[in-house]
Structure 1
Amino acid sequence: MKVKDFYFDLPKELIAQHPLEKRDESRLMVLNKKSGEVEHKVFKDIIEYLNPGDCLVLNDTRVMPARLYGAKEGSGGKMEFLLLNRHEDDIWETLVKPGKRGKVGAKFVFGNGELKAEVVEVLDNGNRKVKFYYDGIFEEVLDRLGEMPLPPYIEEKLEDRERYQTVYSKEVGSAAAPTAGLHFTDELLQAIKKKGINIAFVTLHVGLGTFRPVKAEEIQDHEMHSEYYILDKENAEIINNAKRSGKRVIAVGTTSNRTLESIANEEGQVKEQSGYTSIFIYPGYKFKIVDAIITNFHLPESTLIMLISAFSTREIVMNAYKIAVENKYRFFSFGDAMFIHE
């Protein structure tokens, strides 16, 4: 199957540049994955489609203010750092711009000098390993000096950082938000629990690879990025109980989906574990545990639209996207949502 099979024409004005005032008043397209039937709703209507005993699986990762702007010691040349993965002893894998200033041994200063950095290694992929120096707690320093690493297609400045976090975010470590979860409010989650729907949490720290374009012509030639996940014993049991009871496991977002499908065995059961996943789900994949998906509207030719096409069919999903464009749904991170079920 070719990557171009997942192309659709998206008018730029449909790319949402800011979140709605109320999270749960985004639009919701409800798609039957077998028939292709479409309903148009508002996100808070999702509760109508959830049944007592179902298990909603949320990704509780929290986005780091991972973009730093510094100056090179000596020359004062400006440098942008994007923190990707933490290694040992305050060494981070980072994306740097401009790369020519990021030579081994180069030193940089941030803010009023409370944070300093030195490039210690150039990696094969062009990223740098950078060692940071500071007093106190790194996360607190980062919170003062860093900016939210919004995706490249969002050109407007975000006034409230928390709008690029889910209301249940907890485990700091992502370079991007699990955006399907941005539609939930505390009130909606309470109403969902009150109806008898179980909620379980996984953690998958979203990497910038989620925005990396697929450059191969054939889908199977694409190399998927790797991301760190965690599932603890308590949440594994909540998920397994739903499966054993014949109830649905509903993944909120492609990140929760990839985590569950990475961990589940052939019987659709999960167990406590952590590790890295580079699972690439595209049409032909047989889902082991996920019964329904809540997701946003994704980029043309992205691995994300391939994943949801695998959950239904390419033809049904591409037709649903055509309907979304015709009905002026808002796309991408701050856009509207889709519920795919049968």
Structure 2
Amino acid sequence: MISTHLSDYSFEFPKELIASRTPGKGKTKILHCSKNGGPLEIVPAPKIVDFFNPGDCIVVNNTKVIPARLYGHTMHGGEVEVLLVQTLFPDEQGHARWEAWVRPGKAFQIGRELEIAGVKVTVEAINPDGARVIRFDTTPVELEAIMNKQGHVPLPPYINRPDDEEDKKAYQTIFAKYNGAVAAPTASLHFSAEMLNDLRAKGVLIAEVTLHVGPGTFQNISEEDFREHKMHGEHYELTQENADIINNARKAGGRIVPIGTTSTRVIETIAAEDGTLKAETGVTHAFFYPGYRYKITDGLLTNFHWPKSSLILLVAAFYGRENTLAAYKYAVEHQLHLFSYGDGMLIL
């Protein structure tokens, strides 16, 4: 019987295991979890190459994290903060408009004017989820330059320190190409250029998807029956070229291994019942939890996720609740580092 109780997907961990910094690309540890129920094994990240076969295909997310956190003040001098979530069409005058999460909310009433990163901002609307639609008194191009100069890396809420120069590179994957994410697809942070070269040399194929990770990835589930949870939407794209790489790998008997929950969301959203893919762009609200039958995913490299999160449910849907919690218990006992800047697990 599959449990649909959120409290059944929790685990205990000491706070010291939350990684506040990464040891660097290719320098983390990976817990190898055999899909067939073999023994758990901790290996250095570069050793995961050994678990892949020629003809296998990894699927990576090429989104790029933007410096989306900006600070400013009200017209009375009170400090405020915005996290830019989704760019919107400019207004008729060409002013940049964004959907944003804001603090404190009371400072962002409709019609209110503030100054953010030295630019006048007007609150246009309040969305049902509390996000604000804000208009900057500058163009999108000018705002991008301001963000690159004054914006801050949007570190996850459980990393309890300010961002710094090191994070600008550390929180960006080697696959990053297209601006739009406000959280990194962290499973890809385990990869170094050398690891990628070793995979290619072994005959492993690499396909790319784009999913612009939103702050909803950290959203808590409030319903004990998690099936009632409404999943946040995230923009995705799969090109025909990359769909062909994956489809051809499958036809030739290769295994499809998404790198992270974000890549998994894209290919499972698009896949037909027989697992074939086609080029597609859209917004996915897909929510994968135990009971879901994966259509195309044969393995999964992912980080360790927050207890009772949609992400741990996605992993449990693939690997089983008991296996997942046993792996997390093993990771904690062996003092692996957790969450975005931490170590990872390869289920293959």
SS at match of 1:333: coil
Aligned residue among 84, 92, 116 for 2:98: 92
Aligned residue among 20, 23, 26 for 1:24: 26
Identical-pair percentage: 43
Residue 103 of structure 1 deviates from its aligned partner by 1.1
Alignment of 1:196-211 (within 5 A): 196-211=203-218
Any unmatched runs of 5+ in structure 2? 91-95
**2:230 pairs with 1:223:** yes
Aligned length: 337
SS at match of 1:46: helix
Letter of the 2:156 counterpart: P
Q: 1:18, 1:334 within 8 Å by CA — same for their partners in 2? A: yes
Aligned to 1:152: 157
**2:241 pairs with 1:234:** yes
CA distance in 2, matches of 1:17, 1:313: 29
CA distance in 2, matches of 1:40, 1:72: 50
Residue 102 of structure 1 deviates from its aligned partner by 0.4
Alignment of 1:127-138 (within 5 A): 127-134=131-138, 136-138=141-143
Residue 125 of structure 1 deviates from its aligned partner by 1.6
Residue 116 of structure 1 deviates from its aligned partner by 2.5
Letter of the 1:81 counterpart: V
Q: 1:110, 1:145 within 8 Å by CA — same for their partners in 2? A: no
CA distance in 1, matches of 2:67, 2:106: 24
**2:279 pairs with 1:269:** no
Aligned to 2:53: 51
Deviation string 1:241-295 (CA, Å, 9 cap, x unpaired) is 1111111111000000011100000111100010011111111111100100000
Residue 151 of structure 1 deviates from its aligned partner by 0.6
Residue 10 of structure 1 deviates from its aligned partner by 1.2
CA RMSD of aligned residues (A): 1.2
Letter of the 2:346 counterpart: F
SS at match of 2:283: strand
SS at match of 1:25: coil
CA distance in 2, matches of 1:208, 1:261: 21
Aligned residue among 223, 237, 259 for 2:266: 259
Alignment of 1:1-342 (within 5 A): 1-20=4-23, 22-35=24-37, 37-73=39-75, 75-89=76-90, 90-111=96-117, 113=118, 115-134=119-138, 136-159=141-164, 160=166, 161-341=168-348
CA distance in 2, matches of 1:309, 1:207: 22
SS at match of 1:168: coil
Residue 17 of structure 1 deviates from its aligned partner by 0.6
SS at match of 1:23: coil
CA distance in 1, matches of 2:77, 2:185: 36
Letter of the 2:85 counterpart: L
Q: 1:33, 1:311 within 8 Å by CA — same for their partners in 2? A: no
Residue 36 of structure 1 deviates from its aligned partner by 5.3
Q: Which stretch shifts more, 152-161 or 205-214?
A: 152-161
Deviation string 1:49-87 (CA, Å, 9 cap, x unpaired) is 1111111100000111111101223x1221111111111
Q: Which stretch shifts more, 32-41 or 59-68?
A: 32-41
Q: 1:59, 1:201 within 8 Å by CA — same for their partners in 2? A: yes
TM-score, normalised via structure 2 length? 0.94
Residue 137 of structure 1 deviates from its aligned partner by 3.4
Once superposed, which parts of structure 1, at least 4 consecutive aligned residues long, lie more than 6 Å away?
none
Deviation string 1:32-51 (CA, Å, 9 cap, x unpaired) is 13315311111110110111
TM-score, normalised via structure 1 length? 0.96
Letter of the 1:88 counterpart: F
SS at match of 2:308: coil
Deviation string 1:167-213 (CA, Å, 9 cap, x unpaired) is 11011001100000011111211121121111010000111111011
Letter of the 1:151 counterpart: P
Q: 2:152, 2:163 within 8 Å by CA — same for their partners in 1? A: no
Residue 138 of structure 1 deviates from its aligned partner by 2.6
SS at match of 2:47: helix
CA distance in 2, matches of 1:333, 1:154: 9
